[in-house]
C-alpha cells in the first residue's frame, strides 16, 4: 500500500495577460498570452502568489479540459473588466454628487455655460 500526499496548493484562474509570454510550467517562450493563476494554499484558503501558464499547461495543472480552462480565463477577464467599469462608474457618481453640493456656491465646478442654462443663479458664474 502506497500513501499519496494531498496537494498543498490548487490554482484559481485570475485571467489572461499578454505582459508575460513565457509559460512558468514548461518554459515555452513567445506565447501570445498566458493565463494568470493564483496559487491557493489549501490550509489557509488564501492566494499566496501568481504563476503564468500557457493554456495547455494551465489546464493540466488545474485538472480541467483546455476548452473549459480557456472559457474560465475569458470569464475571469470579463469579470475584471466589469469590476473596473463599476469602480469607474462609482467614482464618477461620487464626484457628480460632490459637485452637486457645490452648485450655486462660489466653489461651483460646472462650466459657466451650464450654470447659465440651468438658471440656478450661480454665485461664481452669474
Q: Is residue 124 part of a domain?
A: no
Residue 73 in grid coordinates: 480565463
- Residue 8 per-residue DSSP state: S
In a domain? residue 38: yes
The answer to whether residue 78 sits within a structural domain is yes
Note whether residue 4 is domain-resident.
no
Q: Specify if 94 maps to a domain.
A: yes
Summarised one tens digit per residue, pLDDT across range 81-103 is 999 999 999 999 998 888 778 77
Does 87 fall in a domain?
yes
Q: Specify the pTM.
A: 0.69
| 46 vs 76: CA distance, rounded Å | 18
Residues 10-64 have pLDDT tens digits of: 889 999 999 999 999 999 999 999 999 999 888 888 888 899 999 999 999 988 8
d(CA 8, CA 79): 27
What is the tally of structural domains in the chain? 1
Domain contains 70: yes
| Residue 72, helix vs strand vs coil | helix
Domain ranges, residue 20: 9-118
Residue 20 lies in a domain: yes
Amino acid at each position: 500500500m502506497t500513501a499519496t500526499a494531498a496537494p498543498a496548493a490548487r490554482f484559481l484562474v485570475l485571467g489572461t495577460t499578454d505582459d508575460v509570454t513565457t509559460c512558468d510550467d514548461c518554459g515555452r517562450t513567445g506565447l501570445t498570452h498566458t493565463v494568470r493563476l493564483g496559487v491557493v494554499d489549501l490550509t489557509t484558503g488564501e492566494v499566496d502568489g501568481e504563476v503564468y501558464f500557457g493554456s495547455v499547461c494551465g489546464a493540466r495543472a488545474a485538472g480541467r479540459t483546455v476548452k473549459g480552462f480557456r472559457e474560465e480565463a475569458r470569464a475571469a477577464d470579463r469579470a475584471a473588466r466589469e469590476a473596473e467599469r463599476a469602480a469607474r462608474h462609482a467614482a464618477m457618481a461620487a464626484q457628480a454628487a460632490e459637485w452637486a453640493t457645490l452648485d450655486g456656491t462660489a466653489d461651483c465646478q460646472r462650466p459657466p455655460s451650464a450654470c447659465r442654462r440651468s438658471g440656478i443663479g450661480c454665485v461664481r458664474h452669474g
